[in-house]
Amino acid sequence: MQQSPYRWVMVAAGGLMGCIAMGTLFSLPVLLNPMTTATGWSRTGISAAMTIAFLAMAFSSMIWGALSDRYGARAVVLVGASLYAASVWLAAHASSLLAFQLTFGILMGGTVAAFFAPMMATVVGWFRTGRGLAVSLVSAGMGLAPVTMSPLAARLAETRDWQQVLMILAVVVAVTTIPTALLLRRPPVMTAAAGGNAGPTADDPNPAMTVREAVTSPQFICLVLTNFFCCATHSGPIFHTVSYAEICGISAIAAVSIYSVEGIAGMGGRIGFGLMGDRFGAKRVLVAGLLAQAIGAMGYYFARELFQFYLVAAIFGFIYAGIMPLYAVLVRENFPMKMMGTIMGGTGMAGGLGMATGPVLGGWIYDTTGSYGLMYITCSVLGLGAFAVAITFRPFPRPQEPSAQPA
C-alpha cells in the first residue's frame, strides 16, 4: 500500500501544536524571576507549580492516550486544546501561590498532555517507513518552543506583568491549536482494522496482544523506567539554567537566548537522531544518546560565562532532544496500533514523572545550598541510571511474514 501524502500534514500539525503547547508551559522558567519579585512567592513554591504540572501530565497521559485509541486523535486533541487554553487563562488570574500551583500545575499540566500521546500515536500510524524521521520532525516542532515562545514571553515580560503575559499566551494557544486539531485524521492502518482488513503483519506487530499483557511486559516496564530516568536527567537543567545564568551575572534576555540555543540545537538533534535511528536501529542510538546525555548534564556545572553556556546548551540540547522521539519508534515497533495511544501515554506518564523531579529538586537544592552545582551532579547520576536500564531492553520477536508458495 502506498503511503498517503497526507501523513506530512499530520507531522506539521503535531509539530505546530507541540511548539505552542509546550512553549506556553515552559514560559514559567522565563517568568520565574519576575514572578518572584512581583509576588514575593518563593522560588521553590513557583518551581513546584511546574513539578505539579509534570505530575498532572504524567497521570493524565495514559488517559488521553487511551481516549485517542477509542475516539481518535481529532476529538481528543480538540477537547484538550480548548481546555488547555482555558487553563492558561485561569493561571494568569491566580491571586495566591496555592491558586497558581493548582491552575498552572493541575489544570495546565493535565490538559497539555492531550497533545502528545495522541499525536505521536497517530503520526507513527501514518508511516510504515521513516518513522524515526517522522516523529523527530514532530518533536522538532516542539523544540521550536525555546526559539519562538520563550523569546516571545521574555519580550512581553519587559513591558507587561507576568499575568498579562499568560493571558496573551492563552489567546495564542486558542487561535492556533484549536483550528489545527481539526486537520487530524485516523491512520490508514486503523481504518483498515475497523473494516476488518488488517492482519498480523510487521507493520502492526503482535496484534493479538492485550493491553494487560502489554503493560506488564518487560519491554514496557523497561521503556517506562528508562524514560523516567532520562527525563529526570534533563528536567532540572532545562528549567533552572536561565535562572542559574542570571545568577552568574548574565542579563535576562541573554539568559533566555541560552534556552534558544538549546532549542535550536535540539531541532538538529531530533532530526539527526531520527535519521540515525532509522539507519542503525532505535535502541542502539537511544542507548548511546543516554550515555552522552549523562555526561553532557555535567557541562553546566562548569559554565560561568555566556559563551560557555552557549557551548554546553548546544551539545546538551542536541543530545537530550534527539533521543526523545526514539521512544515512540520503539513503542511502534513492539506494540500493536490498536493500543498505541495507551502505551505511549504510559511511557509519557513516566517521562512526566521524571520531568517533575527537576523543577522542585533544583529549587530545593538552590534554597538549601545557595548554588545549583549539586543539581547538575545529581542529574548526571540519574542519566547514568537511564543508560543502565536501557541496555536491558529486548524487543519482542518480530512476526514471521508468510513465505511465497511455489507455483
Q: How far apart are CA 242 and CA 138, in angstroms?
A: 25
- In-domain check, residue 339: yes
Which comes out higher in pLDDT, residue 132 or 298? Answer: 298
Tell me: pLDDT of 189 over 80: no
Residue 370's SS3 state is: coil
Grade residue 356 by pLDDT with cuts at 50, 70 and 90.
Answer: confident
Sign of CA dihedral 343, 344, 348, 350: positive
Is 1's pLDDT higher than 60?
A: no
Cα separation, 227 vs 223, whole angstroms: 6
Question: In angstroms, how far is CA 302 from the centroid of its own chain?
Answer: 26
CATH code, domain with 140: 1.20.1250.20
Coil, strand or helix: which one is 406? coil
36: which 3 cell numbers?
518572584
Mean pLDDT of 375-386: 95
**Cell for 19?**
511548539
The torsion angles phi and psi of 278, rounded to 5 degrees, stand at -65, -35
Q: Report the pLDDT value the prediction gives residue 406, as an integer from 0 to 100.
A: 47
Q: How far is residue 370 from each of residues 244, 247, 362, 365, 381, measured CA to CA in Å? A: 11, 10, 11, 7, 21
pLDDT over 80 at 399, yes or no: no
Cell 519508534 appears where? 329
- Of the pLDDT bands very low, low, confident and very high (cuts 50, 70, 90), residue 3 is confident
- Phi and psi at 400, nearest 5°, equal -85, 125
Q: Is the pLDDT of residue 299 over 70?
A: yes
399: in domain: no
- On whether the pTM is more than 0.85, the answer is no
Q: Is residue 192 part of a domain?
A: no
Domain that holds residue 283: 7-187+203-390
- Per this entry, what is the length of the chain? 407
> Mean of the pLDDT values across residues 284-298?
95
Domain count, the chain: 1
Identify the pLDDT of residue 225: 96
**Average confidence (pLDDT) over 253-262:** 83
Helix (H) or strand (E) holding 234: helix 218-247
Decide if 82 contacts 22 (C-beta within 8 A). Answer: no
Classify residue 2: in a domain, yes or no.
no
What are the pLDDT digits (tens) for 134-181?
A: 888 887 777 777 678 888 888 899 889 999 999 999 999 999 999 999
337 in a domain, yes or no? Answer: yes
Cα–Cα dist 186/206, whole Å: 20
The region of weakest confidence among 99-113, 141-155, 273-287 is 141-155
CA distance 49 to 51: 5
- Decide if 195 is inside a domain: no
